[in-house]
Amino acid sequence: MNAQQLVDERGDLWLALAPLWLDREPSERDYARMVEVIERYDMTLNELEWMFRLEMAPVMSRHQLSIASEWRQFDDYKLMKQLVSHNLRLKGWRRKSWALFSGLTTMMVRHRWNALMNRVAVSRGEKV
């Protein structure tokens, strides 16, 4: 897969979910927008979980740990470059390593992710 394919296949989803890592709690409007974007993708809750853990959290958690990071909003272009670069290298041992450490990279936003997944499940008429 090349960079353009990644942007075409995941870009909107990644950018819609990025606010989970901002310094404020997402509003109901934010969650509604995220659910709306998620529903455009044919992904199960399990697939969404692994996308969150492997594709996004390793990049996004670095923003949380950086003193110089922008916490009010993200530069979409810069963020997309970082996410694409990470995902192009996400093979073999790197994929396994991030899977192993995904609990650490997701722990600061896990409560937000769980709240979002509950909303997605309700939207789909699934049991929470």
Indicate if the pLDDT at residue 3 is higher than 90.
no
pLDDT of the residue at 70: 53
pLDDT of 28 over the 90 cut: yes
CB atoms within 10 A of CB 82: 18
Of all residues in the chain, the percent with pLDDT exceeding 70 is 91
What does the pLDDT average to over 6-33? 93
Structural contact between residues 32 and 21, judged by C-beta atoms closer than 8 angstroms: no
pLDDT (tens digit per residue) in 48-92: 999 999 999 999 988 766 555 555 567 889 999 999 999 999 999
Instruction: Give ∠ CA 105-64-52 in degrees, rounded to 5.
Output: 40
- Ramachandran area for residue 19 (φ above 0: left; ψ -120 to 50: alpha; else beta): alpha
Residues contacting residue 30 through CB under 8 Å, at least 6 positions apart: 19
- Confidence (pTM): 0.87
Long-range contacts from 91-97, C-beta under 8 angstroms, 24+ separation? 95/54
